[in-house]
Amino acid sequence: MARKGPKNPARRTLLWLGVILLALAAVLTGGVVTNKATWQPKLALDLEGGTQMILAPRVEGGGSVNEEQLNQAVEIIRQRVDGSGVSEAEISTQSGRNVVVSLPGTPSAETRALIQASADMNFRPVIQSGDGAAVPAASRTAADKLPQPTAKPTNGSDQNWVTADVYKQFEALDCSTLTGAQKAARSDPAKPLVTCEVATATTPAIKYILGPVEVKGQDISGSSFQLQQGRQGAVTNDWAVNIQFNAEGTAKFKEVTQRLNQFYIAAGGEQGTDPRSQFAIVLDDKVISAPRSLAVITDGKPQITGNFTEASAKALSDQLKFGALPISFEIQSDQQISATLGGEQLKMGLLAGLIGLLLVVVYSLFQYRALGLVTIASLVVAGVLTYLAIAILGWTENYRLSLAGVAGIIVAIGQTADSFIVYFERIRDELREGRGLVSAVENGWKRAKRTVLASKAVNLLAAVVLYFVAVGSVRGFAFTLGLTALADLLVVFMFTHPTLQLLARTKFFGEGHRFSGLDPERLGAVPLYRGAGRLREPGDRPAVVRPKNAGAAAEAERRMTIAERRLAERQNQLSGSAKNTAKDGE
């Protein structure tokens, strides 16, 4: 007869799993409806094809590029590409002279500009600012009223840097003719610069007269972005960008902010408008931000605040972090590459995965009968979870599935099935010891989950180490291996175990039907593969273990199903018959 068990907790667990699946599906559906996502996962360069750019290095002041500089450039470009959200990119050197960048799909103009951006990042003090539009010729300052320097400039904010020629250039400049992707001519760091801060969705175009470079981009040791904290330590909804200077940059920045902060105070603090309290961050001779100095920064850790969104704060942080590339690049060639070879390999990989999955299904049904259907259903749930996660990550994090990633998923099929086999064998061991199915499921789970957790911990550790140590396609393998290990844990805990708790209460499984996989007559047979890498040994001869005392025997007999009692009776009859035969022989 069927046993009673923890039906309601099992159903609640399955319900929560259903909620998780529906939530993931709803998120992906929302992305598809808004045309921000697709039902298919994004594919990497080897499966989709993409764009290949050959970059020729240009060294400031002329000269050749050595191997160390080129390798450093490759690493920084890789950081730039990863920082922009493009995954599975291939970046390498060619003949020791050029850099080859291969990106999946068609890169955006912003990505191209980020890759091509040179190392000309620096900090210049603002001397004057104005509207980004050009001043009409009729309204421009007369020659006799143009600024005339009265002395040699004493610091970067000195207005004696503004000569008549500089001011004419300032009035004639029209920022609307510039775009974020255009490159300006390389300026002299020891002279003033007339340039623009190009308009964005939230800020208008502004043009500036900047003093000479006072802090170089190479002095930045790190950059990050975060939600700003208020005076009481509470987190606000405003985004901020943090900069970290090295020792040399810290000393220079302290000196500059002491001067700029004086202009800020003299102008009346927050009510003032003196542009000389601003310090412009310049990349490729264009201003990307020009914050005011509200205090003297002595620790080399300034924070930039303003009307940032999360996206704009991340963009500025990336520019600061990766803007110190020692070499500038020019795109020599730009061409599309196909994924014919990757497509063929994908077909072979999917075929191998299908064969492996079919073998797992056949083995499960052969060894576990109807219980094998639980394995199949668990694999389906794990597959759905993994698919939804990869598709959502492709939309939100621009993750792309590579051929190595597909290999990681295929490897995970066997590891996932292994968890179920360990659990099923623990249940069978409990049944052989005379326990009822409900008790066997609970006790078997207590023993099996320790093994499963230890196994998945090893898998996750290996995946994490591979992901952070390796580069290129190996990281794709490590990522999917870790992702499927997490999906496996979720499925075993929230689907496989609760399902068996419910099935243990049914007549078909609870009474040990011959096709249930829990038939007492078949429990004496040791399977060829017992899970966790263990194979059947020649000496394995399991038998029903009998309790050592009468009280335990009575309790075990009370727990036995009808099928188990019948099996015990047949064993007793066979044992008695064997004894009689032995006596006759004597």
Q: What values do phi and psi take at 28, rounded to 5?
A: -65, -40
Distance set, CA 469 to CA 146, 456, 466, 474, 475 (Å): 60, 20, 5, 9, 8
Residue 150: both structure tokens together:
């009265």
Check whether 545 has a pLDDT greater than 50. no
pLDDT digits (tens, 9 = 90+) for 272-327: 688 999 999 987 788 988 999 989 999 999 999 888 888 888 888 877 876 665 56
Kindly report each contact of residues 174-178 with a partner whose C-beta sits within 8 Å and lies 24 or more positions away, as own/partner: 174/132, 174/133, 174/134, 175/132, 175/133, 175/199, 175/205, 175/206, 175/207, 176/132, 176/133, 176/205, 178/286
SS3 of 416, please? helix
Closest CA to 408 of 356, 343, 463, 486: 463
Let me know: does 371 contact 431? Beta carbons within 8 Å: no
pTM of the model: 0.56
pLDDT score recorded for residue 403: 82
pLDDT score recorded for residue 565: 61
Residue 87: both structure tokens together:
């995954």
- Of 9-18, 175-184, 279-288, which gets the smallest average pLDDT? 175-184
CB contact set of 147 (below 8 Å; sequence gap of 6+): 159, 162, 163, 164, 166, 167
- Of 26-30, 352-356, 391-395, which gets the smallest average pLDDT? 352-356
Question: Spelled out in words, what is the top-level CATH class assigned to the domain 7-40+342-535?
Answer: mainly alpha
pLDDT score recorded for residue 5: 47
Tell me the one-letter amino acid at 548. Answer: K
Let me know: does 277 contact 266? Beta carbons within 8 Å: no
Check whether 505 has a pLDDT greater than 80. yes
- Of 156-165, 230-239, 309-318, which gets the smallest average pLDDT? 230-239
Check whether 178 has a pLDDT greater than 50. yes
Indicate the pLDDT class of residue 415, thresholds 50, 70 and 90: confident
- Of 109-113, 214-218, 344-348, 555-559, which gets the smallest average pLDDT? 555-559
Q: Which of 37-46, 136-145, 229-238, 469-478 has the highest mean pLDDT?
A: 136-145
pLDDT score recorded for residue 98: 82
Top pLDDT among 325 and 447 is at: 447
- Of 134-148, 377-391, 394-408, which gets the smallest average pLDDT? 394-408
DSSP, res 493: I
Interatomic CA distance for residues 447 and 429, integer angstroms? 10
Indicate the pLDDT class of residue 28, thresholds 50, 70 and 90: very high
Closest CA to 74 of 473, 401, 399, 471: 471
pLDDT digits (tens, 9 = 90+) for 449-504: 999 999 899 989 999 998 888 766 788 889 999 999 999 999 999 999 999 999 98
| Strand 50-58 relative to strand 279-283, pairing | unpaired
pLDDT score recorded for residue 297: 93
Mean pLDDT of 408-413: 85
**In the predicted model, what is the mean pLDDT of the chain?**
80
Let me know: does 510 contact 519? Beta carbons within 8 Å: no
Query: Half-sphere exposure of 311 toward its Cβ, with a 13 Å CA cutoff?
Result: 7
The fold of the 45-113 domain, in CATH, is Alpha-Beta Plaits (3.30.70)
CB contact set of 291 (below 8 Å; sequence gap of 6+): 278, 279, 281, 304, 305, 306
- Of 99-103, 173-177, 315-319, 468-472, which gets the smallest average pLDDT? 468-472
Domain coordinates in residue numbering, the chain: 7-40+342-535, 45-113, 119-324, 550-579
Distance set, CA 402 to CA 90, 435, 451, 464, 479 (Å): 12, 48, 31, 18, 11
Closest CA to 444 of 422, 419, 427, 421: 427
The total of other beta-carbon atoms located within 10 Å of residue 581's CB is 9
Let me know: does 141 contact 298? Beta carbons within 8 Å: no
Q: Which of 189-203, 252-266, 399-413, 516-530 has the highest mean pLDDT?
A: 252-266
Indicate the pLDDT class of residue 514, thresholds 50, 70 and 90: confident
Interatomic CA distance for residues 583 and 586, integer angstroms? 5
Check whether 343 has a pLDDT greater than 50. yes
CB contact set of 211 (below 8 Å; sequence gap of 6+): 124, 125, 126, 127, 153, 155, 156, 157, 158, 161, 192
pLDDT score recorded for residue 99: 84
The total of other beta-carbon atoms located within 10 Å of residue 520's CB is 23
Mean pLDDT of 409-434: 83
Check whether 510 has a pLDDT greater than 70. yes
State what percent of residues in the chain have pLDDT above 90.
Answer: 28
Check whether 339 has a pLDDT greater than 70. no
Let me know: does 93 contact 85? Beta carbons within 8 Å: no
pLDDT score recorded for residue 27: 94
Q: What values do phi and psi take at 313, rounded to 5?
A: -65, -40
The total of other beta-carbon atoms located within 10 Å of residue 454's CB is 11
Quick one: angle between helices 403-432 and 340-368, nearest 10?
A: 10
Closest CA to 41 of 476, 400, 396: 400
Check whether 433 has a pLDDT greater than 80. no
pLDDT score recorded for residue 184: 42
Top pLDDT among 333 and 551 is at: 333
Alpha-carbon dihedral 160, 162, 163, 165, rounded to 10 degrees:
170
Top pLDDT among 355 and 573 is at: 355
Mean pLDDT of 56-74: 69
Closest CA to 182 of 272, 113, 107: 113
CB contact set of 430 (below 8 Å; sequence gap of 6+): 439, 440, 441, 443, 444
The total of other beta-carbon atoms located within 10 Å of residue 119's CB is 21
